[in-house]
């Protein structure tokens, strides 16, 4: 008996697009459509629905409410949610409703079809084939990867951040949402410091940070030089389970990097012209407080010269020209009898 897939979207063109995409995988699916959540519930009551594909924004009940009602009647049913809403509160609500996969519009069709096949346990067709089974690459979506990682680790929330402090994808909600901006800001400083240390340690790839809290633990894991994972949940830093969790985290790290590359997101940091890490910080002494003579030497250093020794020989020959007439050199002070007598000082 073919699997029954129900598409719920009030926009006909979106429903047709998803239906056409499902027909391309030739898995013998029975596909039906409903324009609202209420009609989808009626359809699911008349016949078994194996996979519900619903938009978040629907007339009447939204996709999250529909997911909960559908799961209450059909616990074994699978759900894929789609949303064109960028509001972080909406995204958190979607991530917490228990959907098996989540996609933002425009939907990446290869990842969408791959999620459909995995949800229904079908033969995998949306993969990159090289002729060797061990080299088959599973093209998972970012949201789906985070949802699976959250379930595997029993975490409260999983966030994928970039080095600009932006949340690229997330599953679940942090324990204290009001503190999220301050937390991300602090994590960025730690991220940059950790990357510098990684460069000094022969460009170490795998490193992470653990936070053992009273009500929730935290894990911060850089994903390459540009992205990082932030996980929060009870017992995440338990040392007895850490070995298993590390395996899951480092596997997820590779999958996330591949998923980011597949959607065209830059995952490598821009390389500087020098092979050594360069730290740009505030100068110890402001430029306006430096003497004109010292600034003149600094300006000359930046000029191209064929020989370092000739540069310093030239600087010595030119001598020092003071531009502050109200100040005396030691030699001038000696001539005027104003310098201390070196013999007396002894």
Location of structure tokens 């104003």:
338
Q: Is residue 275 part of a domain?
A: yes
Burial of 297 (0-12, 13-18, 19+ CB in 10 A): middle
63/103 same-domain check: yes
**Mean pLDDT calculated for residue range 88-111:** 80
147/270 same-domain check: yes
Q: What residues contact residue 290 under an 8 Å CB cut-off, 6+ apart?
A: 298
Whole-angstrom Cα distance, residue 101 to residue 96?
11
pLDDT (0 to 100) of residue 205: 66
Cα–Cα distances (Å) from 139 to 115, 145, 224, in that order, read 9, 10, 19
225/123 same-domain check: no
pLDDT (0 to 100) of residue 227: 87
320/269 same-domain check: no
pLDDT level of residue 291 (50, 70, 90 thresholds): low
Q: Is residue 203 part of a domain?
A: yes
Structural tokens at position 273: 């012209």
Whole-angstrom Cα distance, residue 4 to residue 29?
6
pLDDT (0 to 100) of residue 38: 94
pLDDT level of residue 317 (50, 70, 90 thresholds): low
Whole-angstrom Cα distance, residue 244 to residue 237?
11
More confident residue, 58 or 168: 58
6/108 same-domain check: yes
- The whole-angstrom distance between residue 253's C-alpha and the CA centroid of its chain comes to 11
- The pTM (predicted TM-score) of the whole model is 0.41
More confident residue, 327 or 108: 108
More confident residue, 333 or 149: 149
**Mean pLDDT calculated for residue range 90-114:** 81
**pLDDT > 70 in the chain, percent:** 67
């Amino acid at each position: 008996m073919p699997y029954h897939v129900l598409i719920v979207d009030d926009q006909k063109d979106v429903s047709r697009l998803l239906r056409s995409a499902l027909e391309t995988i030739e898995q013998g699916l029975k596909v039906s459509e409903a324009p609202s959540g209420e009609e989808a519930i009626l359809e699911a009551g008349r016949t078994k629905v194996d996979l519900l594909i619903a938009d978040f924004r629907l007339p009447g009940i939204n996709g999250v409410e529909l997911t909960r009602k559908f799961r209450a009647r059909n616990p074994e049913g699978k759900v894929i949610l789609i949303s064109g809403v960028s509001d972080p509160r909406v995204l958190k609500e979607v991530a917490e409703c228990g959907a098996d996969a989540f996609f933002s519009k425009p939907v990446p069709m290869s990842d969408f079809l791959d999620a459909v096949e995995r949800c229904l346990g079908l033969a995998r067709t949306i993969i990159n084939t090289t002729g060797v089974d061990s080299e088959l690459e599973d093209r998972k979506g970012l949201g789906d990867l985070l949802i699976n990682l959250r379930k595997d680790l029993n975490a409260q929330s999983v966030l994928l951040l970039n080095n600009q402090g932006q949340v690229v994808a997330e599953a679940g909600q942090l324990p204290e949402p009001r503190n999220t901006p301050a937390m991300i800001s602090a994590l960025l400083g730690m991220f940059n410091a950790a990357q510098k240390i990684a460069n000094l340690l022969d460009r170490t790839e795998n490193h992470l940070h653990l936070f053992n809290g009273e009500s929730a633990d935290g894990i911060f894991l850089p994903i390459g030089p540009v992205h990082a994972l932030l996980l929060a949940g009870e017992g995440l830093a338990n040392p007895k389970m850490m070995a298993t969790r590390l395996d899951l985290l480092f596997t997820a790290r590779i999958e996330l990097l591949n998923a980011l590359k597949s959607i065209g997101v830059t995952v490598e940091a821009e390389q500087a012209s020098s092979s050594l890490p360069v730290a740009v910080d505030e100068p110890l002494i402001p430029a306006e407080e430096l003497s004109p003579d010292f600034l003149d030497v600094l300006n000359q250093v930046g000029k191209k010269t064929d020989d370092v020794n000739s540069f310093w020989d030239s600087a010595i020959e030119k001598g020092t020209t003071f531009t502050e007439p109200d100040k005396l050199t030691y030699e001038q002070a000696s001539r005027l009898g104003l310098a201390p007598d070196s013999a007396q000082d002894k």
